A and B are shown apart, each in its own frame.
Chain A
């Protein structure tokens, strides 16, 4: 057991450096034993989805309903935490969870492992960086079907900064020239962004993975967040507020997504990936362990994994599609893939996918206990004061 863990540690450390594929899978986690769906049966006639805004639209659900008879009832959630709460009500069959929600749902027994043989479109065309990642592949079992991904980039107002900031220091350090005009993402998972910055600038802390922080490392990250709190203009969780804040001039630099910059439609707003790298959200379909519409859920995952449907979702939301076969389907698709770096593993190798922090260190350390998401939550709420 121990040998296996150490072997994994070495494997993980090696793979984490380049963040190549199959990082997860070997780490043994204590998860409830939830049975897998064995074979497809008759369609139940409905499918209740918790999803990010823009993931479920009539443009592709109509065809799905016509093919299978499964009527789609989408419920839009605003944050990962809301998604977890909604899934735990047991009223929903499937969720488009980001990595920070996925592992929580998996260890909570709220979602079931997937039988990929029943999802023919779950194929080799899935981007390398989205295969078998720790946030949705546990103990070698896949729990999620990748949908798409995006990075948390540094957005800046070029009229004010006069060029791309090279480092995240403009949002963290007290002497930032943009103090008072800085925005940050308003969720506990943002602690990982502080950890990414510390990983680069304070190597003596020994952070190997921003989602595997022991108590000392978490305290250092919280200290940095408190320092940032003094120079923050606004925290954002609502994309509209973030866009109006940038466009209105109240915010000059801060965390953003490529798609928000696009929506802002303002020439002077640009995004960049600073030297420290960053975090990102990798979304996947997860099926509830208590679903009564499991066949519709499988049909939905298979349907949305088709290159064209997956691409339509990615283009509508504004993210890199998981199925990169989509990119070659048209010049328009290729342009989208290029804009969101869909095929650029080099770019995504600098991005740490959102992962729920758990007590077992996901960087493979076994000599310390890591801080759990609950610790992060408690810490985060004390940052803002």
Chain B
């Protein structure tokens, strides 16, 4: 009787003698059990993630031999100083920050009305159709989507073909097209949490707001928005940090636009220490952003 009690349902009689012995062994030793449980995730977290980040940080202090362009261990702060001191680097960092903020802002502006419509106004069928439409692009390859945007905005592309007769011209590739492409890429990460948050707002709040004389716009700004701020911040963590690290959107749809990622990509072969130093910039931006986000308490709701 007591023998059977310890057997997990579903594994009872099929377990071989060996697995039984192993479970008995683990059952009696809680420490071994704990190590066994954490070994894999900790190896990944420490061995792969933290160590590689640490090595990157260390490389940022290394020097490069001017004659052979070989990297050799050493200690210099020049790589970090260059981030601020070289005008082209500084302007690229600031531009990237601005682009990431713009992408986030545009995503919010589109996500809120869409979320309200989907959660409160749309028929169940329409709601499902829209939910699929928002998530479907996530299934397509990232590069495919960027190249698709390149084709849309190219001189002989979709915009000039469809809207050209109406006098609308494609702007060509520039920083704004890169922002549009990034918004297109990361929009689902904003739209879904916002939609979920609006769905959780009880309908009675809308009724109460209307009863007290608020028009639709006032209801949105004074009732809906304050309630979904945590969701917006949760979504913005994605849109903001993913935009900060991106560079292929800029390369293929940004014309000559440079982002932090572009500088890292060109330095990775030419001057790895500078690339390593530069990779700390988006990390610093994101950490700052997360600290602000944490204060609002929205990270707990993700």
Contacts and interface: CB of A to CB of B under 8 A. Distances in A.
B67 A232 contact: no
A377 B255 contact: no
Contacts of A107: 67-68
Interface string A360-379: 00000000000011110110
A381 B271 CA distance: 10
A232 B174 CA distance: 11
A382 B87 contact: yes
A307 interface: no
Given A244-B150, A358-B67, A374-B66, A381 B91 contact: no
Interface stretch (B39-47, B154-162, B236-244): B154-162
A373 B69 contact: yes
A384 interface: yes
A248 interface: yes
A357 to B, nearest CB: 11
Nearest to A78: B269
Interface string B248-269: 0001100110100011001101
B258 A108 contact: no
> B91, B251, B270, B274: which has the most chain A beta carbons within 10 Å?
B270
21 contacts: A79-B269, A84-B269, A104-B69, A107-B67, A107-B68, A108-B67, A109-B68, A181-B172, A233-B256, A234-B256, A245-B154, A248-B156, A250-B155, A359-B66, A374-B69, A382-B86, A382-B87, A383-B88, A384-B256, A385-B92, A385-B258
Nearest to A85: B269
A249 interface: yes
B267 A385 contact: no
B6 interface: no
Contacts of B270: 81, 188, 377, 381
Interface residues of B, number: 34
B70 interface: yes
A180 interface: yes
B30 to A, nearest CB: 45
Interface in A329-385: 358-359, 372-375, 377-378, 381-385
Interface of B: 64-70, 86-89, 91-92, 150-151, 154-157, 172-173, 251-252, 255-256, 258, 262-263, 266-267, 269-271, 274
Contact of B155 (A229, A248, A385): A248
Nearest to B254: A234
Contacts of A141: none
Nearest to A377: B270
Contacts of A234: 173, 255-256
A270 interface: no
Chain A interface residue count: which class? 35 or more
A233 B263 CA distance: 18
Interface of A: 79, 81-82, 84-85, 88, 104, 107-109, 180-181, 186, 188, 229, 232-235, 238, 241, 244-245, 247-250, 358-359, 372-375, 377-378, 381-385
Contact of B69 (A181, A238, A247, A377): A377
B172 A180 contact: yes
B88 A385 contact: yes
Nearest to B269: A81
Contacts of B64: 374
Contacts of B88: 381-385
Contacts of B255: 232-234
Nearest to A104: B69
A235 B154 contact: no
A250 B269 contact: no
Nearest to A108: B68
Contacts of B266: 186, 381
